[in-house]
Homo-oligomer: A and B are copies of this chain.
Amino acid sequence: MTDSFDPSAPIYLQLLERIQRQILRGDLKPGDKLPSVREMAIHSGVNPNTVQRTYREMEAIGIVETRRGQGTFVTEKEAILQSMRETLKNKEISRFVEGMKAMGYTHEEILTGLSIYLSGVKGSDQE
């Protein structure tokens, strides 16, 4: 799942989700400064306007805060991050399940298979 995402989705949404993941993975921590729009554009190979739109969207949701003249920063509001975490979790699950169903797997197979898998690997619970 290095970067599972419907490539047909709007680029600014792809970018949005990628950044959300970076936050969840800890690559970006609360209070961290995001790359400038220009940097991000170059690094991601997309148009600066697209990056701009992504940042605006994230600002609207509350994930990041923009400080004029300083840059864009990951919010430190726990509630918002928690909410984002929940939202993304459901999005990932939805994507996973729908993909599996498209390949013909039944609900039971998915749930059973996942249970078996989880019982066989050490979880992040105990880490």
* CB-contacts of A32-90 with B (<8 A): 60, 85, 88-90
A124 — which chain B residues lie within 8 A by C-beta?
A: 101, 104-107
A108 — which chain B residues lie within 8 A by C-beta?
A: 123, 125
Whether A118 touches B111, Cβ cut-off 8 Å, given contacts A1-B95, A1-B102, A7-B3, is: yes
Additional A-B contacts beyond A1-B99, A107-B124, A111-B115 (8; CB < 8 A): A25-B103, A88-B103, A90-B113, A97-B114, A97-B118, A101-B124, A107-B118, A108-B125
A97 — which chain B residues lie within 8 A by C-beta?
A: 114, 117-118, 121
Q: How many copies does the complex hold?
A: 4
Whether A4 touches B118, Cβ cut-off 8 Å, given contacts A124-B104, A125-B107, is: no
Whether A110 touches B118, Cβ cut-off 8 Å, given contacts A1-B95, A98-B1, is: yes
The distance in angstroms between the C-alpha atoms of A103 and B114, with both chains bound, is 17
The distance in angstroms between the C-alpha atoms of A109 and B125, with both chains bound, is 10
Whether A104 touches B8, Cβ cut-off 8 Å, given contacts A90-B117, A99-B1, A115-B111, is: no
- A13 sits at the interface (CB 8 A): no
A7 — which chain B residues lie within 8 A by C-beta?
A: 2-3
